[in-house]
């Protein structure tokens, strides 16, 4: 033990850690860490940010504790040195110890300068004509809750940060949280979930307000017109958790940006929580002042990606269950394969299917009905299956490496798979015989013709072949309809 240095101890820890988590996670969360010192059985490591430290605590606490025990013995401790980027761009070293759980980060204490402030009673004087707002309204949709927000690789970071915020509003290092991503990917749902959870867990302790940037702008314009700009500012400065959706609409609106800049500063300084969303990353929003862009990046910017197949499947299953229906996995698979670009389309597909079934008094929804009902929607998001995908399906079925069908080998099982893949490529793609031949290792079109006629012949003579091909056709149809 005496011969250990900070570097060698940490490198031993890394070896253990590598064996326990995926390579990707190891690379993302552990490789960037630097060992700093080893003194009195305490290893100090430097992590790049407060967020980093919180992430390690949240996800790897137990693993780190047992790793340290293995490398440094039972008395071993891990101490973090956190390089915090603060709003004033100063660096701050902060230490936290394992195994005891640390106290929450020492962010600015929440200071409420309005001692007689009662969120529930404050009136919002900035009402767009036609919209009635008696008390301060959170404007939250009660359906947008974490319980209904399916987690996947596409949203894991943003969702974790959102959860952390709702547990400790204003006293975390994700201030502001900036969530961005394409349309229908769940930004509004996620940021409203934070508001709903805070209201559920903390009641009136926090004045939560959700507002779209468009509404904010309209209210502001109205306030200026009515000489009530300072009331407008006061109102927004009283919010404890301010959620502003679609912030990209501030683009080009200089006065609104200026007003928002001052509100942002005041809230941030008072330790109030700010949550923003946009269809793109802060730096990519055009016509927004640099000082605002830089503030948007003070906390955490997290993007939402297009959900992967498994998440799409889980979302569909959940949406069907929410409607009291359990759909056959074939149907979920069909929809998940055909609606890939965003969650709103997925949801639209399932709503249309359920609505049609209910109107037609259908007792059991089957795949044929689903294909029929959704065929127009599918057409617009129709994906042409590629020869490569067909090769993948066929090789997967035969349990062989995909490259094999593109190689020269004459092994019987590979020849058979290659011929079937050629046959299916002709049937399901618009590619010419020449193109198909080229994609199978540069064969000429007569080889493709021979493959197709061989498969056709076997189809009429061998039930086993017929079954294999029909299984493959089903897979391809589900993927390409
Ligand atoms: N991970 C998810 N789990 C469950 N439902 C989701 C998920 N992501 C999105 N949704 C649902 O998809 C629909 C669209 O989501 P939302 O309105 O939040 O998207 P958005 O990113 O704000 O879109 P836009 O930019 O167009 O406003 C909502 O009904 C939401 O509930």
Domain boundaries, the chain: 6-98, 135-303, 309-380, 387-480
Q: Is residue 95 packed enough to be buried (19+ CB in 10 Å), middle (13-18) or exposed (0-12)?
A: exposed
85 Rama class: left (phi>0) / alpha (psi -120 to 50) / beta: beta
Cα separations in angstroms, 139 against 2, 148, 196, 330, 415: 61, 18, 10, 38, 63
What pLDDT was estimated at residue 384? 67
| Residue 186 labeled ligand binder | yes
Residue 13 has pLDDT above 80, yes or no: yes
What pLDDT was estimated at residue 481? 52
Residue 117 has pLDDT above 60, yes or no: no
Element (H, E) at 50: helix 50-72
Instruction: Yes or no: say if 371 and 334 are a contact pair by the CB < 8 Å rule.
Output: yes
Give residue-wise pLDDT tens across range 381-436: 555 688 998 999 999 999 999 888 998 888 988 999 999 999 999 988 888 898 89
Q: Strand 177-180 and strand 208-212: pairing?
A: unpaired
Residue 95 has pLDDT above 80, yes or no: no
Q: Strand 273-278 and strand 241-245: pairing?
A: parallel
What pLDDT was estimated at residue 83? 61
What pLDDT was estimated at residue 176? 95
Instruction: Yes or no: say if 313 and 333 are a contact pair by the CB < 8 Å rule.
Output: yes
Q: Between vectors from CA 281 to CA 275 and to CA 285, what angle results, nearest 5°?
A: 100
Question: Ligand 1 centre from 344 Cα, in Å?
Answer: 6
- What is the CATH T-level fold of the domain 387-480, as seen in this structure? Chromosomal Replication Initiator Protein Dnaa; Chain: A; (1.10.1750)
> For 42-56, 203-217, 351-365, which range has the lowest pLDDT when averaged over its residues?
42-56
Q: Strand 42-47 and strand 34-39: pairing?
A: antiparallel
Residue 81 has φ and ψ, to the nearest 5°, of -115, 115
Closest ligand 1 atom to the C-alpha of 277?
A: 22
| Residue 184 labeled ligand binder | yes
Q: For residue 254, what pLDDT band results from cuts at 50, 70 and 90?
A: very high
**Cα separation, 159 vs 163, whole angstroms:** 6
Question: Ligand 1 centre from 440 Cα, in Å?
Answer: 41
Instruction: Yes or no: say if 197 and 166 are a contact pair by the CB < 8 Å rule.
Output: yes
**Cα separation, 141 vs 156, whole angstroms:** 22
Look at 355 and 248; give whichever has higher pLDDT.
248
Q: Which one of 151, 183, 186 would you pick to mutate in the ligand 1 pocket, going by the greatest count of ligand atoms within 8 A of its CB?
A: 186
Residue 159 has pLDDT above 70, yes or no: yes
Residue 42 has pLDDT above 80, yes or no: yes
- CATH code assigned to 135-303: 3.40.50.300
Say yes or no: CB of residue 279 within 6 Å of ligand 1.
Answer: yes
Provide, rounded to the nearest whole percent, the portion of the chain with pLDDT above 70: 86
> For 70-79, 366-375, 468-477, which range has the lowest pLDDT when averaged over its residues?
468-477
Q: For residue 451, what pLDDT band results from cuts at 50, 70 and 90?
A: very high
For residues 199-212, average pLDDT: 92
Q: Is residue 312 packed enough to be buried (19+ CB in 10 Å), middle (13-18) or exposed (0-12)?
A: buried
What pLDDT was estimated at residue 19? 87
| Residue 271 labeled ligand binder | no
What pLDDT was estimated at residue 99? 35
Closest Cα to atom 13, ligand 1: which residue? 344
What pLDDT was estimated at residue 14? 94
CATH class of 6-98: alpha beta
For residues 333-338, average pLDDT: 91
Closest ligand 1 atom to the C-alpha of 307?
A: 1
Token pair 């939250």 in the structure block, residue: 140
Q: For residue 360, what pLDDT band results from cuts at 50, 70 and 90?
A: confident
What pLDDT was estimated at residue 357? 85
Residue 5 has pLDDT above 50, yes or no: yes
What pLDDT was estimated at residue 166? 96
What does pTM read for this prediction? 0.59
Cα separations in angstroms, 251 against 182, 186, 218, 247: 17, 22, 14, 8
Tally of helices (H runs) and strands (E runs) in the chain: 18, 9
Q: Is residue 250 packed enough to be buried (19+ CB in 10 Å), middle (13-18) or exposed (0-12)?
A: buried
Residue 147 has pLDDT above 80, yes or no: yes
Residue 370 has pLDDT above 80, yes or no: yes
Q: For residue 380, what pLDDT band results from cuts at 50, 70 and 90?
A: low
Question: How many other CB atoms sit within 10 Å of the CB of residue 82?
Answer: 22
Residue 106 has pLDDT above 70, yes or no: no
Measured N-to-C along each axis, helices 367-380 and 329-338 cross at an angle, to the nearest 10 degrees, of: 10
Query: Does the domain spanning 309-380 belong to CATH 3.40.30.10?
Result: no
């Amino acid at each position: 033990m005496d011969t250990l240095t900070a570097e060698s101890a940490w490198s031993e820890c890394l070896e253990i850690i590598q064996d326990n988590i995926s390579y990707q996670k190891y690379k993302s969360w552990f490789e960037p860490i630097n060992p700093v010192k080893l003194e009195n059985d305490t290893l100090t490591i430097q992590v790049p940010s407060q967020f980093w430290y919180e992430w390690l605590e949240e996800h790897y606490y137990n693993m780190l504790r047992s790793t340290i025990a293995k490398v440094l013995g039972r008395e071993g401790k891990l101490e973090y040195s956190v390089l915090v980027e603060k709003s004033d761009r100063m660096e701050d070293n902060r230490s936290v110890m394992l195994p005891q759980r640390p106290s929450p980060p020492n962010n600015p204490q929440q200071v409420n300068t309005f001692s007689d402030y009662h969120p529930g009673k404050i009136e919002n004087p900035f009402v767009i004509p036609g919209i009635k707002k008696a008390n301060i309204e959170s404007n939250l949709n009660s359906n947008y809750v974490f319980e209904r927000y399916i987690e996947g690789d596409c949203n894991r970071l943003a969702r974790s940060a959102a959860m952390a915020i709702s547990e400790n509003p204003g006293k975390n290092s994700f201030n502001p949280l900036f969530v961005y991503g394409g349309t229908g990917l769940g930004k509004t749902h996620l940021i409203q979930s934070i508001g709903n959870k805070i209201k559920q867990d903390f009641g009136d302790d926090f004045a939560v307000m959700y507002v779209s940037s468009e509404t904010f702008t309209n209210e502001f314009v109205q306030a200026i017109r009515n000489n009530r700009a300072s009331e407008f500012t006061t109102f927004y400065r009283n919010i404890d958790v301010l959620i502003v959706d679609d912030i990209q609409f501030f683009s080009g609106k200089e006065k609104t940006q200026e007003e928002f800049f001052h509100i942002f500063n005041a809230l941030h300084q008072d330790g109030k929580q700010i949550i923003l969303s946009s269809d793109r990353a802060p730096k990519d929003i055009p016509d927004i002042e640099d000082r605002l862009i830089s503030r948007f990046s003070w906390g955490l910017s997290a993007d939402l990606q297009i959900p992967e197949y498994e998440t799409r499947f889980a979302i569909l299953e959940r949406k069907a269950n929410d409607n009291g229906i359990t759909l056959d996995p074939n149907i979920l698979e069909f929809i998940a394969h055909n609606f890939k670009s965003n969650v709103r389309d997925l949801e639209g597909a399932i709503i249309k299917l359920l609505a049609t079934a209910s109107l037609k008094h259908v007792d059991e929804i089957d795949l044929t009905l689903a294909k029929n009902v959704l065929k127009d929607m599918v057409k617009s998001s129709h994906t042409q299956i590629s020869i490569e995908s067909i090769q993948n399906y066929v090789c997967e079925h035969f349990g062989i490496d995909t490259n094999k069908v593109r190689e020269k080998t004459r092994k019987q099982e590979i020849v058979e798979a290659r011929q079937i893949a050629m046959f299916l490529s002709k049937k399901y793609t618009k590619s010419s015989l020449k193109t198909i031949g080229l994609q199978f290792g540069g064969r000429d079109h007569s080889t493709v013709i021979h493959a197709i006629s061989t498969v056709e012949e076997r189809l009429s003579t061998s039930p086993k072949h017929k079954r294999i091909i029909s299984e493959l056709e089903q897979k391809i149809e589900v993927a390409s309809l």
